Amino acid sequence: MLRTRVIPALLLRNESLVKTVRFGKFTYVGDPANTVRIFNELEVDELLFLDITASLENRSPNLKVLADIADECFMPLGYGGGIRSLDQAKAVFDIGFEKVAINTQAEENPALIGEIAAHYGSQAVVASIDVKKGLFGRQTVHTLGGRRNTRRDPVSWAVEVEKMGAGEILLTSIDREGTWDGFDLDLVRRVTDAVSIPVIAHGGAGKIEHIEQVVREANASAVALGNMVVFQKKGMGILVNFPDIKIF
Within a domain: 223: yes
Give residue-wise pLDDT tens across range 150-194. 999 999 999 999 999 999 999 999 999 999 999 999 999 999 999
Answer yes or no: is 63 within a domain.
yes
In a domain, 102, yes or no: yes
Distance CA 213, CA 210 (A): 5
Sign, CA torsion 55/61/62/67: positive
Q: Residue 1: its pLDDT value, please? A: 40
- CATH number reported for the structural domain that contains residue 199 in this entry: 3.20.20.70
Do 83 and 97 form a contact (C-beta atoms < 8 A)? no
Strands (E), 125-190: 125-133, 139-143, 148-149, 168-173
Confidence of residue 49 (pLDDT cuts 50, 70, 90): very high
Domain with 21 in it: 5-230
- CA dist 113 and 127 (Å) reads 8
Give the integer Cα–Cα distance in Å for 39 and 33.
Answer: 10
> 240 lies in a domain?
no
Q: What is the mean pLDDT of the chain?
A: 95
Residues assigned a catalytic role: 130
Share of the chain above pLDDT 70, in %: 98
247 belongs to a structural domain: no
Q: 59-74 burial, b if ≥16 CB within 10 A, otherwise e?
A: ebbbeebbbbbbeebe
C-alpha distances out from residue 216 to 70, 109, 127, 195, 224, Å = 33, 34, 22, 17, 15
pLDDT digits 0-9 by tens, 127-137: 999 999 998 89
Residue 87, classed as helix, strand or coil, is: helix
Q: Is 245 exposed, middle or buried (0-12, 13-18, 19+ CB in 10 A)?
A: middle
* Interatomic CA distance for residues 173 and 206, integer angstroms: 14
Q: What is the mean pLDDT of residues 241-247?
A: 79
- pLDDT tens digits, one per residue of 68-82: 999 999 999 999 999
Answer whether residue 2 shows pLDDT above 60. Answer: no
pLDDT score recorded for residue 139? 98
Give a yes or no: residue 24 inside a domain: yes
Looking at the domain assignment, is residue 235 inside a domain? Answer: no
Count of the separate structural domains present in the chain: 1
36 domain-assigned: yes
